[in-house]
Structure 1
Amino acid sequence: MSKKSYFIFIFLIAFCHQLFSQEESQNTFSLTELLQILESHSAYTFSYADEDLKNIEVPEPPNMLSVTETIAFLQEKTGFKFTLIGEHQIIVDVPIPVEQKPEKITVEELDEVILTNVIAKGVSKIKDGSFKINFDEIGIIPGLIENDAFQTIQALPGVESVNEKVSNINIRGGTNDQNLILWDGIRLYQSGHFFGLISAINPHQNHTVSLYKNGTPATHGNSVSSVIELSSAKKLNDDFEAEVGLTFLSADAFIDTPLDKKSSIQIAARTSINGAFITPTYLQYYDRAFQNTEIANTNQNAINTEEDFRFSDVSFRWLYQLSEKDLLRLNYFSIANELSFTAEEFNQNSMETKESTLSQNSLGMGAFYKRNWTENFSTQLQLFHSNYHLNSTNRILNTNTFFEQENNLAETAFKISSKWKLNERFELNSGYEFSSTTSRDAEADEEITNEDLIENRLNVNNLFSSLRYQSSSRKTLVHLGARINYFNDFDILLAEPRLSFNQQFLKNFSVEVLGELKSQYLSQIVNFQNDFLGIENRKWQLADQLNFPITKSRQASIGVNYQKNNWLASIESYVKKVEGISSQSQGFQNQYEYAQIIGDYRIVGLDILLNKKFRNFDARLSYSLTDNDYFFDDLSVNEIPNNFEIVNSFTFATSYSYKNFKASGGLIWRTGKPFTPISANGLANNQFDYEPINSNNLKDYMRVDISVSQEFKIQKKLLAYAGLSIWNLLDRENIINSYYRQNDNNQIYLVEQKALGLTPNFVFRVKF
Structure 2
Amino acid sequence: MRAQSDKLSQVISISKQKYSVRSLLEKVLPENGVFVSYNDDIIPMDKQIVFKSKNGYKVESILEKICRNENLSFEVKEDQILIKFYDRPDSEYKYVISGSIKDVESGELLIGAAIYIPQLKTGVSTNAYGFYSFTLTKGVYNLEISYIGYEAQSLFIDINKNLKRNVELTPKSIELTELHVDELNPLDIKAHSILSSTNRIDMNMAKQIPYLGEVDVFQSSLLLPGITNIGEGVSGINVRGGNSDQNLILMDEAMLYSSNHFFGLISIFNPDAVKDVEILKGDFPAKYGGRTSAVMHVRQKEGNERETQVSGGIGLLTSRLMVEGPMLNNKASYLLSGRSTFWDLILRNLKNPDFNDIRANFQDVNGKVKFNINSKNKIYLSGYWGADATKIGTDAYQTWGNRMVSFRWNSILRKKHFFNTTAYYSGYRYRYVENEEFRDFTGRISIDDFSLKLDVNSYLNPNNILEWGASSIYHKLLPGELISGELDTSGNEFKLEDETGIESSIYLSSENRIGSRITTLLGLRVSHFLNNAESDVYIYQPNVPKSVETITDTLKAGNKESKTSFWNILPRASLKLLLLENTSAKISYSSSVQYMHLLSNFSSPTSSDNWVMTGRNINPTEMYQGTLGVYRYFPSLEMNVSAELYYRRLDDVIDYKNGANLFLNPQVETELIFGDERAYGMELFVKKTFGRWTGWVGYTLSRVERKFDSQFEELTINEGNYFPSDFDRTHDFALTMVFNANEKWSFSSNFVFYTGRPYSFPDSKYEFDGILIPNYPSKNQDRLSNYHRLDLSATCKLGEYKRTGQKRGYESNLVFSVYNVYARKNAQAYFFSEDEDRTGKPVVNQLSVLAFPVPSITYNFIF
| Distance across 2 between alignment mates of 1:653 and 1:322 | 43
Deviations 1:330-362, CA, capped at 9 Å, x for gaps: 01110100124676xxxxxxxxxxx83110121
Aligned to 2:619: 549
Are 2:657 and 2:671, in contact at CA under 8 Å, matched by a contact in 1? no
Q: Which range moved further: 383-392 or 746-755? A: 746-755
**Unaligned residue ranges in structure 2 (runs of 5+):** 1-102, 108-129, 131-140, 170-182, 486-490, 532-563, 662-669, 710-714, 802-806
Deviation at 1:687, TM superposition (A): 6.0
1:710–1:278 distance in 2 versus 1, CA, 3 Å:
farther
1:735 to 818, 822, 827: 827
**Distance (whole Å) between structure 1 residues aligned to residue 151 and residue 737 of structure 2:** 31
Structure 1 residues 360 and 91: alpha-carbon distance in aligned structure 2, compared to 1, 3 A threshold: same
Residues 1:276 and 1:400: Cα distance change in structure 2 (over 3 Å): closer
- Code of the residue aligned with 1:406 in structure 2: it is R
**1:149 corresponds to:** 217
**199 and 660 in structure 1: CA distance in 2 versus 1, 3 angstrom threshold:** farther
Matched ranges for 1:646-725 at <5 A:
646-657=729-740, 658-659=742-743, 661-682=745-766, 688-712=774-798, 713=800, 715-725=807-817
Residue 385 of structure 1 corresponds to which residue in structure 2? 425
**Secondary structure of the corresponding residue to residue 235 of structure 2:** helix
Q: Does 1:466 align with 2:512?
A: no
Which residue is equivalent to 2:580?
Answer: 506
Which of 392, 417, 428 is matched with 2:466 structurally? 428
Per the TM alignment, residue 378 of structure 1 is displaced from its structure 2 partner at its CA by 2.2
Q: What is the CA–CA distance in structure 2 between the aligned matches of 1:584 and 1:161, rounded to whole Å?
A: 21
Residue type of the alignment partner of 2:622: K
- Give how far 1:570 is off: 1.2
In structure 2, the CA distance between the partners of 1:606 and 1:451, relative to structure 1 (3 Å rule), is: same
Are 2:495 and 1:412 equivalent residues in the alignment?
Answer: no
Question: Match of 1:562?
Answer: 632
Aligned partner (choices 298, 301, 317) of residue 230 of structure 1: 298
Alignment partner of 1:195: what SS? Answer: helix
Partner of 2:593: 519
Q: For the residues of structure 2 that align with 1:108 and 1:492, how far apart are their CA atoms?
A: 47
Using CA pairs under 8 Å that are at least 6 residues apart, name the structure with larger relative contact order, 1 or 2: 1
Match of 2:5 in 1: none
Which aligned pairs between 1:126-141 and structure 2 lie closer than 5 A? 126-129=193-196, 130-136=198-204, 138=206, 140-141=208-209
CA distance in 1, matches of 2:455, 2:730: 41
Aligned partners of 1:682 and 1:748 also within 8 Å: no
Q: Check conservation: 1:587, 1:643, Cα contact below 8 A.
A: no
SS at match of 1:322: strand
CA deviation vs aligned residue, 1:278-323 (integer Å, no higher than 9, x gap): 69xx99xxx9xxxxxxxxxxx98xxx95233221000101000111
**Equivalences for residues 27-42 of structure 1 within 5 A:** none
Give the structure 2 partner of residue 755 of structure 1: 849
Tell me, what secondary structure is at the counterpart of 2:263? Answer: coil
Q: Quick one: distance in 1 between partners of 2:575 and 2:462?
A: 18
The equivalent residue for 1:625 is 701
Cross-structure match for 1:320: 371
CA contact (8 A) 1:125 1:131 kept: no
1:159 aligns with 227
Q: Give the Cα separation in 2 of the matches to 1:94 and 1:431.
A: 33
Distance 1:497 1:101, change over 3 A: closer
| Percent pairwise identity | 20
Query: 1:599 and 2:667 equivalent?
Result: no
Matches within 5 A, 1:4-83: 81=143
For residues 190-231 of structure 1, the C-alpha deviation after alignment (integer angstroms, 9 at most, x for no partner) is: 111113111112111001100000321111111000000001
Which amino acid counterpart does residue 310 of structure 1 have in structure 2? N
Is the 1:216–1:227 contact (alpha carbons within 8 Å) kept by the matching residues of 2? yes
Pair 1:364-2:364 in alignment: no
Moved more, 217-226 or 401-410: 401-410
The match for 2:308 is 240
Question: Does the 8 Å CA contact 1:44/1:89 hold for their aligned counterparts?
Answer: no
Native 8 Å contact 1:145 1:707 kept in 2: no
Please give the per-residue CA displacement for 1:700-754, whole angstroms capped at 9, x wherever unaligned: 10101111213332653211121111111111101123355899x9997756432
Q: Tell me the SS of whatever aligns to 2:780.
A: coil
Query: Taking structure 1 as reference, are residues 581 and 394 closer, same or farther at Cα in structure 2, changes over 3 Å only?
Result: farther
- Which residue matches 1:457? 500
State the 1:418 CA deviation: 2.0
Please list, as runs of the form range in 1=range in 2, the aligned pairs for 1:256-405 lying within 5 A after superposition: 256-260=324-328, 261-277=330-346, 306-340=357-391, 356-394=396-434, 400-402=438-440, 404-405=442-443
Q: 1:131 to 1:434 in 2, by over 3 A?
A: same
Residues 22-62 of structure 1, C-alpha deviations (whole Å, 9 max, x = no match)? xxxxxxxxxxxxxxxxxxx99589xxxxxxxxxxxxxxxxx
Shift of 1:520: 1.0
TM (norm. structure 1) is 0.76
- Superposed CA RMSD in Å reads 3.9
Q: Does 1:578 align with 2:653?
A: no
What residue is the counterpart of 1:640 in the other structure? Answer: 723
Query: CA, structure 1 residues 716+630, in 2 after alignment: closer, same or farther (shift >3 Å)?
Result: same
Distance 2:834 2:725 in 1: 25
Cα distance, 1:761 vs structure 2? 1.5
The superposition leaves residues 473-504 of structure 1 with CA deviations (integer Å, 9 ceiling, x where unpaired) of: 3x433221111111223222101111232221
Pick which of 170-179 and 455-464 moved more.
455-464
Structure 2 distance, partners of 1:468, 1:207, is: 26
Give the superposition deviation at 1:401.
4.0
Tell me, yes or no, if structure 1 residue 95 matches structure 2 residue 156.
yes
Contact 2:458 2:466 in 1 (8 A): yes
Whole-Å separation in 1 of the counterparts to 2:581 and 2:408: 40
Q: Please tell me the residue identity of whatever aligns with 1:372.
A: I
Structure 2 distance, partners of 1:511, 1:584, is: 41
Report the alpha carbon displacement of residue 542 of structure 1 after superposing the two structures with TM: 2.0
What is the one-letter code of the residue matched to 2:314? Answer: L
Paired residue secondary structure (1:730) = coil
Give the whole-Å Cα distance in 1 for the aligned partners of 2:389 and 2:473: 29
The within-5 A match list for 1:109-258 is 126-129=193-196, 130-136=198-204, 138=206, 140-143=208-211, 146-165=214-233, 167-234=235-302, 237-258=305-326
- C-alpha change, 1:738 and 1:537, in structure 2 (3 Å) is farther
* Closer, same or farther: CA 367–584 of 1 in aligned 2, 3 Å: farther
Q: Tell me if structure 2 keeps the 8 A contact 1:145–1:723.
A: no
Distance in 1 (CA, whole Å) between partners of 2:834 and 2:428 is 34
Deviation at 1:424, TM superposition (A): 1.9
Kept in 1, the 8 Å contact 2:422–2:452? The answer is yes
- The alpha-carbon distance between structure 1 residues 559 and 96, as it changes in their structure 2 partners (threshold 3 A), is closer
Q: Find the residue that maps to 1:151 and give its secondary structure.
A: helix
Give the aligned residue type for 1:738: Y
SS in 1 for 2:357: strand
Provide, for residues 435-458 of structure 1, a one-character-per-residue CA deviation record: whole Å limited to 9, x for no partner.
111111225483599852331111
Q: CA 1:445–1:682 in structure 2 vs 1: closer, same or farther (change >3 Å)?
A: farther
Is the CA contact 1:379–1:419 (under 8 Å) kept in the aligned structure 2?
Answer: yes
Structure 1 655/91 Cα, relative in aligned 2: closer, same or farther at 3 Å? closer
The range that moved more, 755-764 or 668-677, is 755-764
C-alpha offsets along residues 243-263 of structure 1, whole Å, 9 cap, x if unaligned?
131011111100111112110
| Structure-2 change in CA distance of 1:103 and 1:696 (3 Å) | closer
CA distance in 2, matches of 1:138, 1:722: 15
SS, match of residue 597 in structure 1 = strand
